[in-house]
């Protein structure tokens, strides 16, 4: 029995072959993956992980495909999409239990509806909660890692584990969760507060994002900020704003965004990234580090 046959036998979720990753990334680019599946529950994830270990099948985990550049040659292996079945939010004590597939803006708004404050800054952050906690996503001075009580994941051998906040190290756009397994659920510690003030903050953060960020397909911020030196400002001062390669462009609205003007390939975006890095290196002798994860093979 082949990997594909056994996988289809073990799980109920649809297994797609040669699925275009352009359908699953916010940049709307990327070649096909060998196999693609959106598991229904934790049990299916455990089965998938065990089978991939058995067959030596490489796995890639995605949420809503933001912060991800899949190259034009696609991905050899299996993509696991932690999506709709893992989108839920429940109140517990002074906090929330939420699935890893929960969008960040939904998380912020629902917390307020439950009478809890603290997550207003997450409104408008692209992506879902699982990826956000692994990369310790932040905005407007807040970071998701500050609010984590525990993380439930399916570890690399297919076993379920729960890590407390004391067992996790959070840094700037990183955490010790990287490589530990597939995050499926989080418990967040929050606080009761002034709900009208919280709603006002959410609207303010969303309006700031609409004002500052382009609405064309992008991955959000491409490069990490340096202490005291926002990447967008360095790129703009180095002459990178508006730089265009094929269908990819450094946004004229915010220079730390690379947008798909409609015809971009992953190769266009990758060339834009490296060109911007070279411009900033030549002007400031600084090497910009991408926040975006680049995976797959070049076409």
Q: What is the pLDDT of residues 204-254, one digit of tens each?
A: 999 988 888 898 999 999 999 988 889 999 999 999 999 999 999 999 999
Check pLDDT > 90 for residue 139: no
pLDDT of residue 211: 87
Average pLDDT over residues 95-101: 97
Check pLDDT > 90 for residue 173: no
**Over the stretch 68-79, which tens digit does the pLDDT of each residue have?**
999 999 999 999
DSSP letter at 145 equals G
DSSP string, 215-256: -SS--S--BPPBTTB-HHHHHHHTT-TT-EETTEEE-SS-TT
Query: What's the mean per-residue pLDDT of the chain?
Result: 95
pLDDT of residue 222: 97
pTM of the full predicted structure?
A: 0.93
Contact yes or no for 127/67 (Cβ under 8 A): yes
CA distance 31 to 23: 10
Strands 95-99 and 32-37, how do they pair?
A: unpaired
Cα 273 from chain centre: 18
Residue with the bigger pLDDT between 220 and 278: it is 278
Check pLDDT > 90 for residue 1: no
| Tokens 């490589």, located at residue | 179
Phi, psi of 297 (to 5 degrees): -115, 145
CA distance 192 to 118: 9
Q: Where do the domains of the chain lie, and which CATH numbers do they carry?
A: 3-84 (3.30.43.10), 86-211 (3.30.465.10), 214-295 (3.90.78.10)
pLDDT of residue 210: 87
Catalytic residue annotation = 173, 221, 291
Confidence band (pLDDT; 50, 70, 90) for 183?
A: very high
Please tell me whether residue 141 adopts helix, strand or coil conformation.
coil
What Cα–Cα distance (Å) separates residue 282 from each residue in 41, 51, 240, 245, 287? 49, 48, 12, 19, 9
Radius of gyration of the chain (CA): 20
Rounded to the nearest 10 degrees, what angle do helices 3-10 and 42-55 cross at? Answer: 160
Average pLDDT over residues 118-139: 92
Tokens of 38: 């959106």
Among residues 94, 97, 150, 105, the alpha carbon closest in space to that of 127 is found at 105
CA distance 288 to 277: 6
pLDDT of residue 209: 86
Please tell me whether residue 181 adopts helix, strand or coil conformation.
strand
Q: Which residues on adjacent β-strands are paired with residue 16?
A: 36
CA distance 118 to 122: 9
């Amino acid at each position: 029995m082949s990997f594909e046959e056994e996988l289809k036998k073990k799980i109920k979720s649809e297994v797609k072959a040669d699925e275009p990753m352009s359908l699953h990334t916010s940049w709307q680019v990327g070649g096909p993956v060998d196999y693609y599946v959106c598991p229904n529950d934790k049990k299916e994830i455990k089965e998938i992980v065990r089978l991939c270990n058995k067959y030596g099948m490489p796995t890639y985990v995605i949420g809503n495909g933001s912060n991800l550049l899949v190259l034009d040659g696609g991905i050899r292996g299996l993509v696991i999409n932690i999506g709709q079945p893992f989108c839920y939010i429940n109140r517990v004590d002074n906090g929330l239990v939420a699935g890893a597939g929960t969008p960040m803006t939904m998380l912020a708004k629902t917390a307020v509806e439950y009478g809890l404050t603290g997550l207003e800054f997450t409104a408008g952050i692209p992506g879902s909660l699982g990826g956000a906690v692994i990369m310790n996503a932040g905005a407007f001075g807040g970071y998701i890692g500050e609010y984590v009580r525990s993380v439930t994941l399916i570890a690399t051998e297919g076993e379920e584990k729960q890590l407390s906040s004391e067992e996790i190290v959070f840094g700037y756009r990183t955490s010790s969760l990287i490589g530990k397994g597939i995050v499926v659920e989080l418990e967040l510690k929050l606080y009761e507060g002034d709900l009208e003030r919280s709603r006002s903050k959410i609207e303010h953060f969303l309006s700031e994002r609409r004002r500052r960020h382009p609405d064309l397909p992008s991955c959000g911020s491409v490069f990490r900020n340096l202490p005291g030196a926002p990447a967008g400002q360095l790129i703009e001062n180095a002459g990178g704003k508006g730089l265009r390669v094929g269908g990819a462009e450094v946004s004229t609205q915010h220079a730390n965004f690379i947008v798909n003007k409609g015809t971009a390939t992953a190769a266009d975006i990758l060339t834009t990234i490296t060109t911007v890095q070279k411009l900033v290196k030549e002007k400031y002798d600084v090497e910009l580090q991408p926040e975006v994860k680049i995976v797959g093979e070049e076409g």
